[in-house]
Amino acid sequence: MGVRFTMRRVVVALVVLLLLAGIAAAIASRMAKKAAEGKEKDQPPVTLEFAPGDLAVVETRALPRWLAVSGTMLPVRQATVKSKVSGEVRQITVREGEAVTAGQMLVKVDTTDLESKLIERQGQLESIRAQLAMAEKNLSNNQKLLKQNFISQNAFDNSESNLNVTLGSVKSAEAQVRIAQNALKDAVATAPLTGIVAKRHVQPGEKVAFDAPLVTLVDLKDMELQALIPAIDIPEIKPGMTATLHVDGFGERKFTGRIDRISPSTEAGTRAILVYVGIPNTDAALRGGMFATGRVALSAGEPVASLPASAVRNEGGQTFVWAIEDGTLVKRSVAVGRRDEETGRIELKSVLPGTLKVLTARFENLKEGAPALVKSSVSATPRQG
């Protein structure tokens, strides 16, 4: 019992000593921190030094104006070749993606029935021509007989009428022959333009009806972007304006086009109007259905106050600039307008003094009210404590 009681006292004593040591360490740490803070307060703040290249002033200049456009591109020239006769497809000479030239044969429909019909109508024409020859001969004979009073005037008129009817039949038969000949020609479908086969609608052996689609062709030399523009922006644009475009899949490559046409009315269910932008495609890199985004350069507006875009910061929904005023660093809230990516400037709607030096370079841990000055050396960099 005596031993256990002695051990318990030793443990309690050790715990008390540890607690006292911890309290003493905490007190020492707090005192050291207060001493450091006091020393820091006694030291004067470090003056921030900036190079002239780190600063800018408000300038009044006309910023380029532009209108955003986006849409799908389609070939300007495309055509769907359709069957002009009905029948069985005998031959197709092209496949998707192949290049064709204007007048090249694409599809041939079976011509057996058409050839038979042509022969039949040619035979009918020959028969009627024989009747015409006979009618002319009869009229010539009757004319002689009429002069000799061997036939009546009525008989002569009948022979003359028969000749005229036969002449009409000949013309009709000739027209039927031409129709049969044209139908025979129409059995061969040819390319109406030079381009690329986009789709083959039929296969050999299929039966097609009149006006059935056979092959779709596109010419990729000239593309057209169809962009919907809000009606309120239409007065700003006109045919001939330049558009700079980026196309999905082409990275940073830019394509240049011009506004060719503007639709006369808004699209149904919208307040937007279709604008057609023509894009040269000499290398055939662009394809139908690709999506493009870009902008149309508008006429320059009135000069406005502006700053380099790098000078304007946005944190927590607040837009502001850092500036040097009376030798100290100040934070000024500002309202901004249009941003021009090409010149790297942004419109300033708030009024700032024209002599106010604004920081354009990005610096961290800036504090409002800190002393600041501009060094004459371009290579100088800000020093912070």
DSSP code at position 211: T
- List beta partners, residue 339: 346
Q: To which H or E segment does residue 265 belong?
A: strand 254-266
pLDDT at 365: 79
Of 380, 322, 357, 291, nearest to 71 by C-alpha is 291
pLDDT at 385 over 50: no
pLDDT above 60 for 76: yes
Q: CA 154, CA 353: separation in Å to the nearest integer?
A: 115
Q: Any idea what the Cα angle at residue 309 is, between residues 304 and 312, rounded to 5°?
A: 100
Residue 236 has pLDDT above 50, yes or no: yes
| Residue 323 token pair | 């500036």
Asked if 245 contacts 224 with a C-beta cutoff of 8 angstroms, the reply is no
DSSP class of 370: -
Residue identified by tokens 């004067």 is 44
Q: Taking the model in full, what pTM does it have?
A: 0.57
Q: Is the pLDDT of residue 88 over 70?
A: yes
Closest CA to 261 of 272, 249, 271, 273: 273
User: How crowded is residue 98: how many other Cβ atoms within 10 Å of its Cβ?
Assistant: 10
The whole-angstrom separation of Cα 181 and Cα 95 is 29
- What phi and psi values does residue 185 have, to the nearest 5 degrees? -70, -40
- Cα 374 to Cα 25, 34, 379: the distances in Å are 46, 35, 12
SS3 call for 153: helix
Residue 30 scores a pLDDT above 80 = no
Residue 122 has pLDDT above 50, yes or no: yes
pLDDT in tens, 303-330: 888 888 888 888 888 889 888 888 888 8
Where does the pLDDT of residue 5 fall: very low under 50, low under 70, confident under 90, or very high at 90 and above?
low
Q: How many CB atoms lie within 10 A of CB 150?
A: 11
Q: Could you tell me if 67 and 161 are in contact, meaning their C-beta atoms sit under 8 angstroms apart?
A: no
Say if residues 329 and 322 touch (Cβ distance below 8 Å). Answer: yes
Environment class of residue 96 by beta-carbon count within 10 Å: exposed (0-12), middle (13-18) or buried (19+)?
exposed
Residue 259, classified by CB atoms within 10 Å of its CB into exposed (0-12), middle (13-18) or buried (19+), is buried
* pLDDT tens profile 123-147: 888 888 888 888 888 888 878 887 8
**Share above pLDDT 90 across residues of the chain, in percent, rounded to a whole number:** 29
Report which DSSP code applies to 327: T
Identify the pLDDT of residue 363. 80
Indicate the pairing of strand 105-109 with strand 188-190.
antiparallel
Tokens, residue 70? 């986006």
pLDDT for position 267 = 87
DSSP state, 79?
E
- Residue 119: CB atoms within 10 Å: 12
Average pLDDT for 2-13:
63
Would the pLDDT of 104 be above 90? yes
274 by DSSP, 3-state: which? strand
Mean pLDDT comparison of 35-44, 52-61, 211-220, 316-325, highest-scoring range: 211-220
Q: Is 66 helix (H, G, I), strand (E, B) or coil?
A: strand
Q: Which two tokens stand for residue 162?
A: 């028969």
**At a CB cut-off of 8 Å and minimum separation 6, what does 106 contact?**
81, 92, 93, 94, 100, 189, 190, 191, 214, 215
Helix orientation angle between 112-147 and 153-186, rounded to the nearest 10 degrees: 160
- Torsions phi, psi for 187 (to 5 deg): -70, -15
Residue 162's pLDDT is what?
84
Tokens (6 digits) for 26 = 């905490």
In the prediction, which pLDDT does 383 show? 47
